Structure 1
Amino acid sequence: MRSLRALVVTGLVAVAMAGCAKPIAQHDLAAGPVAAKDGIVTASAYRAPPPRMSQPMPDRIFKGGALAGRTLQIASTADIVLKPREVVLTFDDGPRAGKTPAILDTLDSFGVKATFLMLGSAARANPQLARQVARRGHTVGSHTYDHVDLGKLSRQQAIAEIVRGETAVSEALEGAGAGLSPFFRFPYLSETGFLRTSLLQGDIVVLDVDIDSKDYYRDSPETVAARTLARLDARGSGIILFHDIHQRTVDMLPAFLAELEARGYSVVRLAPRSTGLFGRSVITAEAPPPLESP
């Protein structure tokens, strides 16, 4: 059972960064929690799961290939230390019908695993597809509920959006045999010091980006692959950002992975590592009811 605790963090200096290019949707925030007078009110957002007596087998047994590298178990962002010619494949904004399944098939054909940072809204709309990602051995994290620019929200709204996304993805994964991993990426890579510190103190691993494929540009698959490979070769290793919602990404991935293999790269699979006996703490946004005065 996970340990749940309240998290109250004082404000830090805001830091904004540019990232994914997707229209901002800020609906459904009006009904969220309201900031307390003296700070951000937080409490548990997760239901304690019942004890699991058995673990379902994945749909496909893990298999390796020439491109498949090691599994790196991490409990914090600082644990992500890659060797030369090691890459981590990440896919944001899904799952998306007609796109994500094709990407899963390509990854399977090369025997490699990726990390999918799912939107809560997309996972809720496609729960069977979200479970398929997990059952096929990939790591699933969250990416807010509606791809909102968190740097433009109040602290309470931002935390509520993060928790809402985590909750929706977690619920969509129920029955998959593998739950939500404590991995998170800021939409547009737009963050504040307060939010990053809050997540880190909640034992959430913030996944940054080393190589942005910019597959959200209206370029050809060949252009996306060439740009990504050039940036990767210049850096030598790193976390690559793709999106499993674009057809150009579906089309470029087979040739891209073949070229990675030809150039001697390996794909590292990220997996969560428990930080303690009871698992991770959770950043939350729902306040407990006030205690009545005696």
Structure 2
Amino acid sequence: MVSFGRRLARVFTFVFIVATSAACGTTSHNMAGGETRLAFVAEPTQTATRDAGATPPLSFGGLAGRTVTVDSVSDLRLRKHEVALTFDDGPVPGRTHAVLDALDKAGVKATFLMVGQMAHAYPRLVREVAMRGHTIGTHTQSHANLTQVSTPNAEAQINSGMKNVSDALVPTRYRAAPFFRFPYLASTPRQRRQLAARGITVIDADIDSKDYFQSSTEQLRQRTLARVEARGSGIILMHDIHARTGKMLPALLADLKERGYKVVRLVPGGRAENLLVSSLTHNMSAGYPAPKTMRN
């Protein structure tokens, strides 16, 4: 896990430096007129209008299952042969696109738990994930293990990550869902209580694909499928920063469909309406205190 953490840190550092040197533009804090929308994108109706560049509605036939409304951890209860797809640590150009394309072809939606540094580096890609109908949550600012830092630093990691993801979404008027995943799935009871008090749902994982292991796409597919079959349902943890994951995903989705599984869609409930607006400024919105200065 330590070696994986170091590799992941190098990935983040490399991507962030490349993006910065390429003068990747940052988004404005000014939001165009009109109401904000949650980044999970509500099912479109025939009379609804979409932002320019949004993909047409998909059929959602076959593999796509029900939509699960999540207000708290207790809502994350899946039925037999139901799975939820989650992708951590992105977005990354090319690799996140491969995941998005595979999901589009299968007609299913996923939840992307994004790292703040990555959202800041690739804001257009954050917006594309939202506009293609997926739920967006957060995953700290720089993938720090929050059990190994001070309380102020942990709060800064959470808040800064949320702000960067929200800022990236400003031009589209989408909003991030109040979903959060702890890096390395490492947390303390106090941290969980604090997030719950803020109306933020922690998205844990039942099935770890371990796609961060060096393995072939076939090995990754077989390992993930075996874990799904052994458990029978659950939230699958994957990462959209690894090329092998995007390459493997179409085959895994075909396997799930063949075995009678349904991919459910996780969306925030009504309480999310008063949380995390995408036009967050340094004054922040109700529900999220202003981020604290990061310590070195």
TM-score of the superposition, structure 2-length normalised? 0.79
2:56 maps to which of 61, 70, 81: 61
1:234 maps to which of 223, 227, 230: 230
1:52 maps to which of 12, 19, 34: 34
Deviates more, 1:152-161 or 1:55-64: 55-64
Name the CA shift for 1:159/1:50 in 2 (closer, same or farther; >3 Å): farther
Residue in 1 that maps onto 2:289: 284
Structure 1 spans left out of the alignment, 5+ residues: 1-17, 28-46, 288-294
SS at match of 1:175: helix
Aligned residue type for 1:52: G
Larger relative contact order (CA 8 Å, sep ≥ 6):
1
**1:73, distance to aligned residue in structure 2 (A):** 1.1
Residue in 2 that maps onto 1:101: 97
Contact 1:204 / 1:282 at 8 angstroms: preserved in 2?
no
**1:241, distance to aligned residue in structure 2 (A):** 0.3
The CA deviation string for residues 179-214 of structure 1, in whole angstroms up to 9 with x for no partner, is 111000000011111111100111001000100000
Residue in 1 that maps onto 2:22: none
The CA deviation string for residues 218-270 of structure 1, in whole angstroms up to 9 with x for no partner, is 01111111111111111110000000010110110010000000000010011
Aligned residue type for 1:57: R
Name the CA shift for 1:102/1:50 in 2 (closer, same or farther; >3 Å): closer
Name the CA shift for 1:183/1:19 in 2 (closer, same or farther; >3 Å): farther
**Cα RMSD, aligned residues only:** 2.5
1:110 maps to which of 92, 106, 111: 106
**1:275, distance to aligned residue in structure 2 (A):** 2.1
Residue in 1 that maps onto 2:41: none
Residue in 1 that maps onto 2:216: 220
Structure 2 CA distance for aligned equivalents of residues 194 and 53 of structure 1: 34
Is 1:170 aligned with 2:175? no
Structure 2 CA distance for aligned equivalents of residues 104 and 279 of structure 1: 26
Deviates more, 1:193-202 or 1:273-282: 273-282
The CA deviation string for residues 66-117 of structure 1, in whole angstroms up to 9 with x for no partner, is 1011111111111111110000000000000110111111100000000000
Residue in 2 that maps onto 1:12: none
SS at match of 2:171: coil
Residue in 2 that maps onto 1:11: none
Residue in 2 that maps onto 1:126: 122
Aligned residue type for 2:148: K
Name the CA shift for 1:68/1:20 in 2 (closer, same or farther; >3 Å): farther
**1:278, distance to aligned residue in structure 2 (A):** 3.6
Contact 2:81 / 2:260 at 8 angstroms: preserved in 1?
yes
Contact 2:80 / 2:233 at 8 angstroms: preserved in 1?
yes
Contact 2:32 / 2:171 at 8 angstroms: preserved in 1?
no
Structure 2 CA distance for aligned equivalents of residues 211 and 85 of structure 1: 13
SS at match of 1:72: strand
Residue in 1 that maps onto 2:69: 73
Contact 1:19 / 1:189 at 8 angstroms: preserved in 2?
no
Aligned residue type for 1:282: G
Name the CA shift for 1:196/1:250 in 2 (closer, same or farther; >3 Å): same
SS at match of 1:275: helix
Deviates more, 1:166-175 or 1:55-64: 55-64
Name the CA shift for 1:48/1:132 in 2 (closer, same or farther; >3 Å): closer
Total equivalences in the alignment: 251
Structure 2 CA distance for aligned equivalents of residues 97 and 276 of structure 1: 29
Matches within 5 A, 1:1-294: 21-23=4-6, 52-53=34-35, 57=50, 59-63=54-58, 64-275=60-271, 278-279=274-275, 282-286=287-291
Structure 1 CA distance for aligned equivalents of residues 80 and 36 of structure 2: 38
The CA deviation string for residues 45-81 of structure 1, in whole angstroms up to 9 with x for no partner, is xx99787348761511332121011111111111111
**1:276, distance to aligned residue in structure 2 (A):** 7.6
Name the CA shift for 1:202/1:219 in 2 (closer, same or farther; >3 Å): same
